[in-house]
Structure 1
Amino acid sequence: MAKNVIRKNDDMNLDEVYRQLRTNIEFSQMDETLRSINVLSTNPNEGKSSVSLNLAKIFADKYQKVLLIDCDLRNPSLNKFLRVSNSKGLTNLLTHYQKGDLIQEQDELKIIDFGNNTQLYFLSTGSKVPNPTEVISSRRFSTFINEAKKQFDAVIVDCPPVFAVADGIPISHVVDGTLFVLSAKDTDKYDAREAVQDLQRNGANLIGVVMTKVPGFRSKHYYGYGYGKYGGYGDSND
């Protein structure tokens, strides 16, 4: 019984921190609408995908149409978190998508129901392709993201790590803002600085930094937040 109470309190704390992070993002640039955000990190296993998923869910608590896209075409993970098939997804959709098509009507799109009137539209990576960078850098992908920004209240894009491949940079060019994730436990500060500078040098609109795996918390997943030079910070343990 005590364990259940602790877990419930942990979940409530996690949701509250993400609500604050959502609010910080919404008010981070008052003169511009941040409808689409990509989330990336320096290296794998720094909590990036967990941040993407939890942030998308908390946006879905407030808005009716929120789209979460897994763009880590080499190492997809969100479909595993959500326990849905990855047989069809982004790569399959892009083979036939045309400007103006209603994204909600695409067969590759999945609806995740969290209960309490919270639904999330999810697009997994889909079939493996031999040229992920070319797919992400294509005009059709750019068109798709621009259409998604028109058709959804919020679009959250989970990207591969910066030091793994360069796919996150072209994605940063087509979204409204970039959220950078680093791990208090795993991320080398010099690597993080280099990654941030590389993003800024390539024109990314860096709106926040989320710090994961902050020590001193009891739960498996705890997040802090705040906005400083680069934005916010939080914590995840995956």
Structure 2
Amino acid sequence: MTLAIRRVYHIAAFSWYAFVVKILAAKDGEQLPPGIFVYGGPWKYLTFLNLLLQMLFFGLAALSDLQAGKKSESTLNRCKDFLFSVFAFPVGMFVVILFWAIFAYDRELVYPATIDTFFPPWINHAMHTLVLPFLLGEVVVQPHIYPQTKHALQALGGVGAAYLFWIIWVYLSVGIWVYPLLAHFSTPGLGGFFFFNMSVVALLYMLGNKLNSQFWSKDVTSRGQ
């Protein structure tokens, strides 16, 4: 893939995510519909955190494109590859897959119909659908060097545990779960559900690694995995 195409892709993706985040930020102060509560703001939603993650990654990727011709092992390139492989791809794919799976079963468990008066349908798809083609496009336009699997899964597990503690804190603070679905689980059920989710994220990490190595030559993508 030529550098020019890669630059255009990264700038376009970054601009898109920046635009969506700006639209969401502009909603601050508006009357919230039932199903959304104030405590924690948008920072309690994995969807919003994922948008920031994607915007950060594509911003780093665009900056990295400016270093064309320099050593591929630069700090910026290492950060970009780590961010994509360990977080942006598996978390982004997880948000899309889990959201639409639950939405198809019963949207009230994850995205109550009252929210449609607050977010138009295109915003819903911007948050929960277009993430997937952007990530798959990134696999195509540029190879990424993956870290050792055990280090990647440790990092994913740490971040996953931090988010789990955060949403539990929100619940203990206001007595409301961030996602209505969670109210239907017993305590053991919640533990099993979170373990299942982390297992899916780990599998998505390995899927990203597999796609990356299948699409690009091994000598470009490996780092002693």
Using the size of structure 2 for normalisation, the TM-score is: 0.29
Using the size of structure 1 for normalisation, the TM-score is: 0.28
Structure richer in helix, relative to its length: 2
Larger CA Rg, structure 1 vs 2: 2
